[in-house]
Amino acid sequence: MTLTVQPHRESVGLKAGQLFIDGQWGPARDGATWPHHHPATGEAIGEFAVASAADVDDAVAAARRAFDSGAWSYSRATVRIQLLHRYANLLREHADELRALQALDNGVPLSFGAIYATSVGAAADVFDHHAGWVDKIGGQTLPPYQGGDHLAMTFREPIGVVAAILPWNAPFLLFAQKIAPALAAGCTVVLKASEFATFSVLRMVELLGEAGLPAGVLNLVTGPGDPTGERLITHPDVDKVSFTGSRAVGKRIVEASAGTLKRVSLELGGKSPALVFQDAPNVGLAAMTTMGAVTMGLSGQACVANTRALVHRDVYEEFLGAAQGMAGMITYGDPFDPGVISSPLINARQLERVLGYIEKGKTEGRLVTGGERLGGDLANGNFVQPTIFADVDNSATIAQEEIFGPVLAVVPFDTEEEAVALANDTEYGLGAGVFTADVQRAFRVARRLRVGTIGINGFQVEPHLPFGGFKQSGLGREGGQSAFEAFTELKTVLMPLGEELM
Ligand code: NAD
């Protein structure tokens, strides 16, 4: 029987999505809506408002009024601290409901939605973490360089109105990585959800209202890149754009920011390598970890997945065997079935793109496993078999471009020097994995890799660490103190304490 998710839609009680502007829910001014098709079944399961340029203008105006009033940005620290903690707890209470909404949005199975990295719990921890910065980040008081009796001080002030733009693949964590530091710093926000993961974000915004966030401090506009996103990134009254998504849209945002010199933070894509040395403590585990990240949960639609495996020739066949074993363990289907551990590709366009890369891969490497779209009960969904290409040259398209699907390119190497050179031979620089039992090698290699985050013999998401990319993987960092600071401007204030002339 062909897969359907309609019964889950009924049990979750999915309602049509509206815009949230100045504390009020309502439709788009022109009544436009977007139909959401489920990626596992192709079924139309809900719709939400498409914000026009006029709606975006209303949202930015509300955020500007809320910012300029100072009611949020200059509120008592406890107002912001308590709200952020209250919200973190509300998220935890609603974790099951949010996971179910996400399964209806982007098809990420409930089983994977419970894994820490992409869970509601991780998002809640990010809010708790940033609540802690509210009363701790300030400026400095410095001794005057030219002597005399002067005060020389710096202050950190909220940056103003922030446009926060989300991708579809990890809405809980990525919502938190932007909204928690922005609110903690005293900014006001216009948030744009991805058109492929809107329902879970709508509920997260509703819960912010329940936590007591004042009207206008956070506004939600829904809809696609054009018109909704375009109006937001070109709006003259937006002070900062905080974006997570593709490199192409990231570049467009940099371009659009030039008009008013908006501050810009970008979390973009990657082609992150796993470097597996001959002395890896457990080659089988290294292979399963690498292939698992490329296939489990998000089907490789994860920015930091190690989609390029650089493997020493001495352990090459062992690696391929274990990676193939992992591919065989992946289960697809109804995201509400606890036995299902991975997702469909997000939409038909992405399905075509990934199948195109697989065809290209057949000319660039040796197909070890996979390579086909799934049929049968799953024929209406965007499912692609876990796929491995071996003997790939690092300059090949499938070793250089972000495929964003369950496709691993395996490249052999002979020396550490070569492995590092291959790893760095990419336009991206988001993450890397290093598998070795030699501690000195581990750190030597980690220091030489031009990437933002490195896992040595494993990797875990931490809510309080900086995360972001070198090179074309991004600008700036999310997570931790650096994220909080990225939502502030540094101001210098000077004052002579006597009658001296400057
Ligand atoms: P995308 O760039 O297509 O869309 C991201 C968001 O930008 C969506 O909300 C979309 O509607 C909006 N958008 C599209 N065009 C726009 C425009 N012209 N102006 C303003 N907004 C516009 O990306 P996606 O498919 O949603 O996400 C996948 C990408 O995100 C991958 O490249 C992945 O690597 C990256 N990603 C990066 C990180 C990270 O932390 N570095 C995390 C998750 C995903």
Residue 224 alpha carbon, nearest atom of ligand 1: 11
Distance 244 CA to ligand 1 centre (A): 5
Do 191 and 134 share a structural domain?
yes
502 inside domain: no
Do 369 and 256 share a structural domain?
no
Q: Which residue from 50, 190, 194, 265 has its CB within 8 A of the most atoms of ligand 1, so it is best to mutate?
A: 194
In contact, 39 and 153? CB cutoff 8 Å: no
Q: Is 267 in the pocket of ligand 1 (CB under 6 A)?
A: yes
Q: Is 225 in the pocket of ligand 1 (CB under 6 A)?
A: yes
Q: Is 451 in the pocket of ligand 1 (CB under 6 A)?
A: no
CA torsion angle for 201, 203, 204, 206 (degrees, to 10)? 130
> What domain range includes position 406?
273-450
Residue 230 alpha carbon, nearest atom of ligand 1: 19
Q: Is 401 in the pocket of ligand 1 (CB under 6 A)?
A: no
Instruction: State how far Cα 407 lies from the chain centre.
Output: 20
1 — pLDDT class (breaks 50, 70, 90) = confident
User: Does the pLDDT value for residue 179 go beyond 90?
Assistant: yes
Which residues touch 47 (CB under 8 Å, ≥6 apart)? 16, 17, 33, 34, 35, 36
Higher pLDDT, 13 or 177: 177
Do 424 and 291 share a structural domain?
yes
Residue 193 alpha carbon, nearest atom of ligand 1: 9
5-9, 68-72, 143-147, 308-312: least confident range: 143-147
Q: Measured between alpha carbons, how far is residue 102 from residues 21, 27, 196 in Å?
A: 23, 22, 10
- How many helices and strands in the chain, by DSSP H and E? 17, 20
Long-range pairs, 335-338, Cβ under 8 A, ≥24? 335/5, 335/40, 335/103, 335/107, 335/108, 335/109, 335/110, 336/5, 336/8, 336/100, 336/103, 336/109, 336/110, 337/109, 338/110, 338/111
Do 214 and 320 share a structural domain?
no
1 inside domain: no
Q: d(Cα 399, Cα 365) in Å, to the nearest integer?
A: 10
Q: Is 165 in the pocket of ligand 1 (CB under 6 A)?
A: yes
Distance 10 CA to ligand 1 centre (A): 29
Q: Domain of 295: which CATH number?
A: 3.40.309.10
Q: Can you give 392-423 as a three-state secondary structure string?
A: CCCCCHHHHCCCCCCEEEEEEECCHHHHHHHH
Residue percentage of the chain with pLDDT more than 70: 99
In contact, 245 and 404? CB cutoff 8 Å: no
Q: What angle do CA 425, 271, 455 make, to 5 degrees?
A: 95
Distance 441 CA to ligand 1 centre (A): 35
Q: Is 268 in the pocket of ligand 1 (CB under 6 A)?
A: yes
95 — pLDDT class (breaks 50, 70, 90) = very high
Residue 467 alpha carbon, nearest atom of ligand 1: 40
Residue 252 alpha carbon, nearest atom of ligand 1: 18
461 inside domain: no
Do 170 and 99 share a structural domain?
yes
- Please compute, for residue 462, the number of CA atoms within 13 A of its CA located in the half-sphere on the CB side: 10
Q: Is 168 in the pocket of ligand 1 (CB under 6 A)?
A: yes
Closest CA to ligand 1's atom 39: 267
Residue 267 alpha carbon, nearest atom of ligand 1: 41
pLDDT in the model for residue 285: 98
Do 305 and 235 share a structural domain?
no
279 inside domain: yes
Concatenated DSSP letters of 419-455: HHHHHH-SS--SEEEEE-S-HHHHHHHHHH--SSEEE
pLDDT in the model for residue 488: 98
Q: Is 324 in the pocket of ligand 1 (CB under 6 A)?
A: no
Secondary structure (3-state) at 141 = strand
Q: Is 106 in the pocket of ligand 1 (CB under 6 A)?
A: no
Is the pTM here over 0.75, yes or no? yes
496 inside domain: no
Q: Is 474 in the pocket of ligand 1 (CB under 6 A)?
A: yes
Closest CA to ligand 1's atom 13: 225
Closest CA to ligand 1's atom 20: 229
Q: d(Cα 316, Cα 332) in Å, to the nearest integer?
A: 28
Q: Residues with catalytic annotation?
A: 267, 303
The chain-wide mean pLDDT, for the chain, equals 97
- Amino acid, res. 413: F
Phi, psi of 49 (to 5 degrees): -70, 145
In contact, 409 and 396? CB cutoff 8 Å: yes
Do 349 and 252 share a structural domain?
no
237 inside domain: yes
Instruction: State how far Cα 19 lies from the chain centre.
Output: 22
User: Does the pLDDT value for residue 500 go beyond 70?
Assistant: no
Q: Taking the CB of residue 363, how many other CB atoms lie within 10 A of it?
A: 9
Distance 388 CA to ligand 1 centre (A): 25
Helix (H) or strand (E) holding 34: strand 33-37
pLDDT in the model for residue 13: 87
Q: Taking the CB of residue 446, how many other CB atoms lie within 10 A of it?
A: 15
466 inside domain: no
Higher pLDDT, 94 or 13: 94
Residue 195 alpha carbon, nearest atom of ligand 1: 11
Phi, psi of 310 (to 5 degrees): -100, 115
460 inside domain: no
Q: Is 201 in the pocket of ligand 1 (CB under 6 A)?
A: no
Strand order in the sheet with 141-142: 141-142, 150-158, 488-496
Do 340 and 416 share a structural domain?
yes
For 191, left (φ over 0), alpha (ψ -120 to 50), or beta? beta
Closest CA to ligand 1's atom 23: 245
Q: d(Cα 107, Cα 287) in Å, to the nearest integer?
A: 26
Q: d(Cα 459, Cα 413) in Å, to the nearest integer?
A: 23
User: What's 384's DSSP letter?
Assistant: B
Closest CA to 118 of 184, 168, 193: 168
Q: Is 197 in the pocket of ligand 1 (CB under 6 A)?
A: no
Q: d(Cα 427, Cα 157) in Å, to the nearest integer?
A: 34
Do 286 and 237 share a structural domain?
no
- Amino acid, res. 464: H
Span 391-436, pLDDT tens digits? 999 999 999 999 999 999 999 999 999 999 999 999 999 999 999 9
Do 186 and 37 share a structural domain?
yes
Q: Domain of 480: which CATH number?
A: 3.40.605.10
pLDDT in the model for residue 298: 97
User: Does the pLDDT value for residue 501 go beyond 60?
Assistant: no
Mean pLDDT of 193-203: 98
Closest CA to ligand 1's atom 35: 245
SS3 content of the chain, % helix, strand, coil (to 5): 40, 20, 40
Do 182 and 127 share a structural domain?
yes
Q: Taking the CB of residue 351, how many other CB atoms lie within 10 A of it?
A: 19
112-116, 129-133, 419-423, 449-453: least confident range: 112-116
User: Does the pLDDT value for residue 58 go beyond 60?
Assistant: yes
Distance 135 CA to ligand 1 centre (A): 32
Do 395 and 279 share a structural domain?
yes
Domain count, the chain: 2
In contact, 12 and 5? CB cutoff 8 Å: no
In contact, 356 and 363? CB cutoff 8 Å: no
